[in-house]
Structure 1
Amino acid sequence: MSTPDSHHQADEVGSATRALDRELRRLRIPRTRRSALVEEVRADLRDAAGDGLTPEALLGDVATFAREAVSARGWTPRPRDWRSATTTAVTVGVVALAVGYLLLLEVLNPLMSEWIDLTQRYPVAGPLLTYAALALIGIAGALAGFARSLSGRPAARTSVTRATALLPVAAALGVGAAMLFGRAWDYSTSLPVVLIEVALVALPCAGSLWLARWWGLRSSAVPAAPPVSAG
């Protein structure tokens, strides 16, 4: 039969575990790991309550306990910087792409029209060379922006390394789609066609950068140590 004391102990345990869950959310710990840790601590607190110990006596400062528990398990808190890093990288890449576009088509094309010519004279070599050159310029700009935006943050180098592998693949897929679209419009250089081509390249590139950041954070986590109990 429950007593007022048992109700009070249950309330204290519930309040402490909710506070712990909030701290783990703030640290961006994934739900499955967060739930497992909270359940483990709840069980420890219930056992300790039977011995007359309060959650405050076992946990102390909840924020400190959460950080120590996360560190002991080798978990890496996931900073929500993927959006800003991806946006910065794509923006820098698009700017580099625009500069490269103007340089190649407005300056070098008249000088090298024997090769860089979006007419029927070279239906494959001209467009392929142009798209490839623009892709390389955009990739270089995007990687530079990505590395700059992650400077000093957790798993920055690992994320950039992953991006170096993933971004060219995404860019190749995007360029392929852009070339098919451009060919359907006779490789028009009108603004709407160019903007759609940029979007076809930018979207898969943005996805690859997000994946690189996620992968980098997962790869940088050290193997989990034996869990630290609340007791």
Structure 2
Amino acid sequence: MIRKIVLPFLVINLLSTAFIADHKTIPKPIAKSGFAVIELFTSEGCSSCPSADALLAEIEKENQNKPIYLLAFHVDYWDRLGWKDRFSNAKFSARQNQYADWLSLKTVYTPQVVVNGNKEFVGSEESILRNSIKTALASPSMGNLDISTGKTGNGNLILNYNTNQPTDGYSLAVALVIAKASNQVLRGENKGKTLSHVQIVTQFETFVLGGKTNGSVNVQMNQVNGEQPTELIAFLQNNKTGKITVATSLSPLLDHK
């Protein structure tokens, strides 16, 4: 009787031990610290925008070497109102309108900030911006995006990417950025002012990945007003919701060939 009772328990115990040992060998994703992609939609023709530009400069100065990615998109719809912003681009206005669709907004405005593609507010609202960054950084990220670059024969960039997250329904967004610039405004609402800018987007492209988790894309490399981009910021964005799930950057850009 004793043998009949003990043996099954020994078998069960051994099987349980084997299951536990095998279970422990399954690798688990390691959560990383969060990140914040800050997109400012601004214009030199807008009298409310210099304060938002200055706030972005403060954030940039205070958060060196942190996973905070700053992008200043100069929209073009102010250009017809007295002053043409030399950094403006219709593509940037189109991106802002895309956010209006994603976030169910009735209109666009400047200055506007969007954080990680899913929260928007007036770009000069310092407390909201700082709290939004704090919240974003405190939210663990399971995603990873690795990038590297090479040059094509025509001087453009080949961007190699690799990610551990599914990419069905996602696009790879790529922005080329100038670190800083200033400009004297001669007309419009900011007439007579010399405006300073940081993290100025000069080019922006998106690539639908269609489920591919690694590959290469070609990125145009153009100078804007004779200035060469110094940083590349890349991130994955949901095509339906606009939510950004992972981001990274290369800077200085010319060192990554």
TM-score w.r.t. the length of structure 1 is: 0.26
TM-score w.r.t. the length of structure 2 is: 0.24
Which structure has greater helix proportion? 1
- Rg larger in structure: 1
Higher relative contact order (CA 8 A, sep 6+): 1
Which structure has greater strand proportion? 2
